[in-house]
Amino acid sequence: MSGRITSAMSASRSRPGTRLLDRHGERALMEGVLGQARAGSSAVLVVRGEPGIGKTALLDYAAARALGFRVIWARGVESEMELAFAGLHQLCAPMLGRLGQLPKPERDALAVALGMQQGQALDRFLVGLAALSLLAATAENQPLACLVDDAQWLDRASVQCLAFAARRLLAEPVALIFAACQPDDDHDLAGLPGADRHRTWPCRRASCWSRRSADGSTLRCATGSLPKQAATHSPCCNCLAG
């Protein structure tokens, strides 16, 4: 059932005609993350902001621009926050055809976590490794874009596993983009590598570690590099205000 839900969600959200007016920086950031993954190096992005400011529209834009990618959606559901691994199940369901490629301990751990088989008490380290391996295996033949909306409503076990995998993605062509309403210090995604240590393009001020848009959304990029065009852009509003 989860696979069908994910497919329907992808079809409804990945609208080729999605347009974002006057959000050039955000659009370029999304394209930069996709470009890095397309070139064979993983990229992780967390989009934060208040409800209704257009975070989902940015994910729609990323999906529409992910040409040549396999695009997989997941969405946090408030009523499922107490169901361990519900979010991970939603994201992994379309990729389970690759489950057989995982080492047996990881395969068994993930299968138990997703309710596919019975087993002993879960080793969450192995579940996180399995999620990482599944993402890498799925991206072997084409780049992979995983778009996670309403991440603040993911169950804790799922977000911990996804953050674990995001910290360890290296040379895989995977773009992992989260949208969340929750403040950095209240969510497990705050632990993503570089989330608070890399300035986000298009700001070129060395002292700026994030970019807050005029509409109130904060974008932080966990990619290891910035697009070349970043050097041509002006400081963000945080820098101007400071």
CATH number at residue 24: 3.40.50
Q: Residue 130 falls within a domain, yes or no? A: no
Instruction: Say what the pLDDT of residue 115 is.
Output: 92
Q: Residue 161 falls within a domain, yes or no? A: yes
Q: Residue 77 falls within a domain, yes or no? A: yes
CA gap 175, 80 in Å, rounded? 25
Instruction: Say what the pLDDT of residue 2 is.
Output: 27
Q: How many domains does the chain have?
A: 1
Provide the token pair at 83.
């169901």
Identity at 139, one-letter amino acid code: A
CA gap 181, 235 in Å, rounded? 24
CA gap 14, 75 in Å, rounded? 14
Question: Can you give the length of the chain in residues?
Answer: 242
Q: Residue 119 falls within a domain, yes or no? A: no
Cα dihedral 183/185/189/195 (nearest 10) = 90
Parts of the chain with a pLDDT under 70: 1-23, 182-187, 191-242
Q: Residue 165 falls within a domain, yes or no? A: yes
Q: Residue 232 falls within a domain, yes or no? A: yes
Bridge partners (DSSP) listed for residue 145: 71, 175
Range of the domain at 212: 2-82+140-241
Closest by CA position to 149, among listed 14, 3, 1, 4: 14
- 3-class DSSP assignment, residue 44: strand
Angle subtended at Cα 13 by Cα 64 and Cα 57, rounded to the nearest 5 degrees: 75
